[in-house]
Amino acid sequence: MSHSQEFYTKGKYKIIYGMRNEFTICYNETKPIVNNYWQSVNPMMKTLPIFLLQLSVAIAIGRVFMIVLRPLRQPRFLSQLLAGVLLGPGALGISGRVANDLTPFEGSMFLETMANLGVTFYMFLVGLEMDLTPIQKMGKPALSVAISGMLLPLAAGVGLHSMALQRQTVRAPEMGAYFWSIALTLTSFPDLARMLSDLKLMYTDLGKTALTAAVVNDLSCWCLLVVAVSLINGEKELYVAIPVLVGMTIFWFSLRPLIRKILRYISATSKEATTSDKHIYFILSLVFLSGFVTELCGAHSIFGAFMFGLMIPGGELGTTIMDKVEEFVVGILLPPIFLITGTRTNIQYIFADYSVGLVIAVVLLASSAKIISALLVCLYLKCPVRDGLALGVLMNTKGVLALIILNEGRNMKGFDQQTFSWIVVAIAFMTAIIGPIVSYTHKSERHLKYMDRHLEKCKTEAPIRILACVHSTRNLSAMITLLEISNATRKSPIIVFAVHLVELAGRASAMLIFHDKDKTADTGHTCSREKAEAEQIVSAFESFVDNNHGATVKPLTAVSPYTTMHEDVNHFALDKIANIILIPFHRRSDPVGGWTEENVQHKLVNQNLLATSPCSIGLLVDRGLTSFAESQKGTQQECRIAMLFVEGTDDREALAYAWRMAGTPSVTLSVIRFVPGKEGSEFMENSGDNEEEPDIFTAMFERETQKQLDDDYINQFRFKTMHDQSIAYVEIQVNSGDQIVSAISSEFYDFDLYVVGRGHGYTSQLTAGLSTWSEFPELGVMGETLISMNLETPASVLVVQQSHPVSSGSKKFTSNSTKDVFGNKGVTAFVNHRKSVDGF
């Protein structure tokens, strides 16, 4: 021991102090146990039992935090971080029992080893999940956000570290500035993707902009970290760091084509339809080799694992690996890094020797660097401040990658415990405010936004945006036929977003796969059968565009659980400002006019969409509309459409869509309006007597208002179509629902398609007798009546519902995430910026 060293004994540990405030801890390897017949050595003095206890307690506490914080929209990362801090010296670690048995010094080396193994595999998954293709199509907003999101936080990290560092307590104070700057600049791509998925903003322009900018920030930060680690290991001599960078570059460019050839060979020689387990294990073993190579180059093993993950091409292989090992890595191998971070964070002494104001200022300024940079970009691009605030908060998503950077800096003695605790608190604060702020800034304004997007409000020649959903190729022909008769011309074009709905299985986050006509889409998240079906659907819609020059189609595949599929459809409709969503009925007709077995999951999706849709929605019951599409190939056959009008907003919306169809050359439209006869009028006037006294005048006023709106719209329709020979208008007086059924059966039975309103939210006295029993409430009274009638030729039915404002006292459904959507100005601003990218 040198003369500059001294030691003292504390409990079972001997602490030796040396120069630069460094110390070494010595402890006994074994400790006898008295009166124990099983073993003579305390098992808690061995590293493996200690680690198993640490892992079990960390996972258990993390799960408790997840349950508590889930209603507050907090991610899994924050729960695990709080669990680690809770077990640290600033909380439960104060207790001697916890410090001696759960976080003893003798278990720290093994814990750090397992933490390094966990982050190595985690970085492999990050590289595997990261998609670099958005960089090739990066727009001006994303590039501006990425650049400003790097420059300002880099400067803020250096400035804040210099301001905060009043004592030279670390080996090289400037090293802390390196790691502070890189940690503040980083935007964790995987954590951001999960956050956007939870907030249902993944497929919005805000989400796409944030993800694209995050990819650029991630890659830039990892390059900066490689440079910083190389320089520090090379004792700040550039000639020592350059070979490390050159070795990493050679490693990337030499192994990348070799890895791809090996994977192609495995795929070509494999007799199995899917990737076998032995191939997965072979690839996972290469993660160790990649980490070992980069360690030889003088860098951390995480860099090699990350680069190896980027080498593996996207597709079924990457998805299979993610499905098999992601939960094990994140749930089992990753908690040690949170526990290591927690043991290095001491909240109890966070204000020691520093003023409270200084510490709070450092945390707040560190948390606001990204937000300020995003706000400046949005002001420059003349986007709403609301969107800039949300974008800045989302770009502040740090996640596990930031902890990896900070712990690397702590290992290199760039931080002391106090400054390390500051930045950990700042990261926890950044993460905690993301969900509440984004939820607040993008709460539901859908009804104000769509008030003027209803078909009833649009001119018949105005372009409309349709979100057409299909579950399989069985729904394809009828849906395309409906689009063909929707009058797509150059003067009145239609923009179709063709969505193939696929059930999500084996993953936690929903995804959307866009199909680029000039490039094979990445459909690796679906199985081979679903991939082939998706290609067939894309091909069918492309053929539709070739035959209809007034139509534009953007095909995509939405992979989501059935329970939340409606949320993703709604948010995509909001982002694309769709006028109407078209969905297929959950049952299909058979050749003899009956029905096949119903799909309960599809029925659930339809019901949720009808209950929460932000725009108008059309439910198509196919009973032979496909035969019309096939007959058109040979000869021009007339498509006969009947619109049955009773009353209300849904009927007006249905008439608006039928009116547009009438512009198609091969379509004839008959509008049949059912009006109350003498007995029906008296019945309607007296119907309020059965209502409660306070509701009589309200019901009467609402009925008269709707009747006036119906009359005005019908008169407008009749005036503008009086000279159109393809349109006929008839009024039928009826006094009951039975008379409506009789009129349809006797006079209006020979049509290819019926268009009706769902009648949601109100009850017409004319159809009151038909609604006593309902098997398919999603079709409404008229829709269910039509499919249950024994007509000579069963006709298809299109049931239209106009979106209705949901009052505060209305029924709540299983999902309330429709509150997290764009307001009108925000969507418009981002859509305008993306016109040059997707043509819409």
**Given this model, what pLDDT does residue 687 score?**
52
Query: For residue 498, how far is the Cα from the chain centroid?
Result: 18
Residue 639: pLDDT over 70: yes
CB 233 within 8 Å of CB 202: no
Express each pLDDT in 509-567 by its tens digit: 556 565 555 444 444 444 556 667 788 888 888 888 888 888 999 888 888 888 888 88
**Given this model, what pLDDT does residue 503 score?**
83
Q: Cα(470)–Cα(540) distance, rounded to whole angstroms? A: 12
Residue with tokens 């570290």: 161
Q: Cα(164)–Cα(143) distance, rounded to whole angstroms? A: 32
Closest C-alpha to 245, from 219, 217, 225 = 225
Higher pLDDT, 635 or 9: 635
Closest C-alpha to 17, from 1, 6, 9, 28 = 6
Q: Cα(355)–Cα(784) distance, rounded to whole angstroms? A: 72
Which uninterrupted H or E stretch holds 617?
Answer: strand 616-621
Q: 3-class DSSP state for residue 784?
A: helix
Closest C-alpha to 431, from 192, 138, 750 = 192
Categorize the per-residue pLDDT at 346 as very low, low, confident or very high, splitting at 50, 70 and 90: confident
Q: What tokens appear for 505 in the block?
A: 């299985």
Percentage above 90 pLDDT, the chain:
20
Q: Cα(17)–Cα(8) distance, rounded to whole angstroms? A: 9
Q: Cα(468)–Cα(500) distance, rounded to whole angstroms? A: 9
Residue 63: pLDDT over 90: yes
Q: 3-class DSSP state for residue 608?
A: helix
H helix and E strand count, the chain: 30, 14
**Considering just the CA atoms, what is the radius of gyration of the chain in Å?**
32
**Given this model, what pLDDT does residue 290 score?**
85
**Given this model, what pLDDT does residue 326 score?**
87
Q: Which residues contact 196 (CB under 8 A, 6 or more apart)?
A: 202, 207, 210, 211, 394
Q: How far is CA 398 from CA 160, 404, 770, in A?
A: 18, 10, 58
Categorize the per-residue pLDDT at 170 as very low, low, confident or very high, splitting at 50, 70 and 90: very low
Categorize the per-residue pLDDT at 318 as very low, low, confident or very high, splitting at 50, 70 and 90: confident
pLDDT, mean of residues 593-599: 70
Residue 259: pLDDT over 50: yes
Q: 3-class DSSP state for residue 41?
A: strand
pLDDT, mean of residues 377-395: 88
Q: Cα(828)–Cα(370) distance, rounded to whole angstroms? A: 24
Residue 482: pLDDT over 70: yes
Q: How far is CA 703 from CA 648, 682, 738, 740, in A?
A: 9, 14, 22, 20
Express each pLDDT in 133-145 by its tens digit: 767 777 788 888 8
Q: Cα(111)–Cα(113) distance, rounded to whole angstroms? A: 5
**Given this model, what pLDDT does residue 427 score?**
93
Q: What is the pTM of this model?
A: 0.70
Closest C-alpha to 397, from 214, 201, 125 = 214
Q: Cα(317)–Cα(229) distance, rounded to whole angstroms? A: 32
CB 189 within 8 Å of CB 215: yes
Express each pLDDT in 207-229 by its tens digit: 888 888 988 888 888 888 877 77
Q: Cα(359)–Cα(355) distance, rounded to whole angstroms? A: 7
CB 641 within 8 Å of CB 750: no
Residue 832: pLDDT over 70: no
Residue 105: pLDDT over 60: yes
Q: List own/partner pairs for 768-776 with CB under 8 A and 24 or more apart.
A: 768/737, 769/736, 769/737, 769/738, 770/737, 770/740, 770/741, 771/737
Torsion, CA 394, CA 83, CA 402, CA 509, rounded to 10: -50
Express each pLDDT in 729-760 by its tens digit: 999 998 888 888 888 888 888 888 999 999 88
Residue 833: pLDDT over 60: no
Q: What tokens appear for 583 in the block?
A: 């969905």
**Given this model, what pLDDT does residue 313 score?**
73
pLDDT, mean of residues 564-576: 85
pLDDT, mean of residues 468-487: 90
pLDDT, mean of residues 45-61: 87
**Given this model, what pLDDT does residue 518 score?**
46
Q: Cα(597)–Cα(590) distance, rounded to whole angstroms? A: 10
Closest C-alpha to 476, from 622, 283, 682 = 622
Categorize the per-residue pLDDT at 336 as very low, low, confident or very high, splitting at 50, 70 and 90: very high
CB 143 within 8 Å of CB 371: no
Closest C-alpha to 204, from 389, 387, 434 = 387
Closest C-alpha to 672, from 754, 735, 752, 737 = 754
